[in-house]
Structure 1
């Protein structure tokens, strides 16, 4: 008799610490107690120059380095999140969103990490087009959208209280960037004793190397990492 099929996620994305650990247990997801959280899939991160050839050589090379990210976002991540949103809206649980946006006109309310020079120097007024969730995943009226000026969606927002008030015990995390805001949110949720699931094909980092490495770091200790197809088999009807 053939051995029963075991989902590969149970032993995948293992770090040094969990190389010999037992298989992850099946999650028990109860209707009304599991929520989908979409993190920072905003217009600013999907914007690209209309004419890359007009850029100076260094900027052109830097832009080209992001090709893999954009291909993954449009080809895998956004369609996967859209599929999960549809399933949750059909009754599996609430859909919630977190986005980076400052509330003051000059961005004075931003955290230090969003003021430092470099790629993370983010100035995204809350009512700007750049700060909005991408149209393909746009929140519906009545769905919770928290605005943050930090990496973690729990820091400086009332999201933890919202989850607690709604009786949420399990949070399914998706979005960008795996190694930054997704990871920070996952760690915060775990510290607050929520059960967290990260969907591998619903997240992205600047490179696949960064994406995969971060999943290995947070898997098992802060969350369980699986793919959307795995999760769909556990969601309540």
Structure 2
């Protein structure tokens, strides 16, 4: 099996030296779970659908299979490891602060698939039950794609002494990507766990991993990450 040090290299890093092993210190590495919310996992009964709606249902089936079969179990495993080792677990979710959603950024209001109104207290905007935050764990509510741009998460992480952020969640090519880039710009070391995130299609997911790898983060599997995690 190919190592994380070479598996996700893009054109820019062909022939570049291998990345060094991350040095993770207990209490200074945080797990960030991005946008794994009820609205994205809810599905209609296909028996009620016809035409383009039914075709769209089937186009999204691989995403749901990956989420339930790989991503959610992997994030749950990471959450358990972080909690057991005394390393913080932090959650970010898209949620409008106002009922009509006029506080949302333009990227969250453009007509089309991304135009979802998710009031902060409604069921649709909550983290899925399988990954429910504990009462003492931080949740930030964002009206932007990046979990840093529209929240105080950068300040909170810095106040906690966090140097490394392990990113997980959905969607790899949208809010996960925006958050990883923002974290890198704020000089956090970022590890993106490839089997703990998903895009609408596997092609989009893998394409974004290669774009982000090395310059904005190091991409590795959960198993590889756990080998470096302090316990």
Establish whether TM, by shorter chain, passes 0.5.
Answer: yes
Give the number of aligned pairs.
231
Report SS of the residue matched to 1:23: coil
After superposition, what is the alpha-carbon deviation per residue over 1:6-43, rounded to whole angstroms, capped at 9, x for unaligned? 96101111110001111111000001110000000000
Of 154, 163, 170, 2:157 maps to 163
The answer on whether the counterparts of 1:172 and 1:198 sit within 8 Å (CA) in structure 2 is: yes
So what's the TM-score if we normalise by structure 1?
0.96
Aligned position for 2:14:
19
> Counterpart in 2 of 1:145?
139
Structure 2 residue 165 is the aligned partner of structure 1 residue 185: no
1:83 counterpart residue number: 77
Residue-by-residue CA offset, 1:152-202 (whole Å, 9 max, x unaligned): 000110000000000000000000000000000000000000000000000
Q: Counterpart in 2 of 1:3?
A: none
- Cα distance in 1 for partners of 2:48, 2:130 equals 29
Structure 1 regions of 5+ residues with no counterpart?
Answer: 1-5
Paired with 1:7 and 1:188, the residues of 2 have a C-alpha distance of 28
Give the whole-Å Cα distance in 2 for the aligned partners of 1:228 and 1:7. Answer: 14
- Worse-matched range after superposition: 208-217 or 18-27: 18-27
Runs of 4+ in 1 over 2 A off after TM superposition: none
State whether structure 2 residue 41 is matched by structure 1 residue 46: yes
Corresponding residue SS for 2:211: helix
Correspondences of 1:105-124 after superposition (within 5 Å): 105-124=99-118
1:206 aligns with 2:212: no
SS at match of 1:181: helix
- 1:120-157 CA distance string (max 9 Å, x none): 00100000000000000000011000000110000110
2:76 is paired with a residue of what secondary structure?
helix
Question: Taking structure 2 as the reference length, what is the TM-score of the superposition?
Answer: 0.98
Deviates more, 1:86-95 or 1:68-77: 86-95
Structure 1 distance, partners of 2:62, 2:14, is 29
**Partner of 1:65 in structure 2?**
59
- Secondary structure in structure 1 of the residue aligned to 2:97: coil
Give the aligned CA root-mean-square deviation in angstroms. 1.0
Structure-2 residue corresponding to 1:74: 68
Q: Is the partner of 2:219 in helix, strand or coil? A: strand
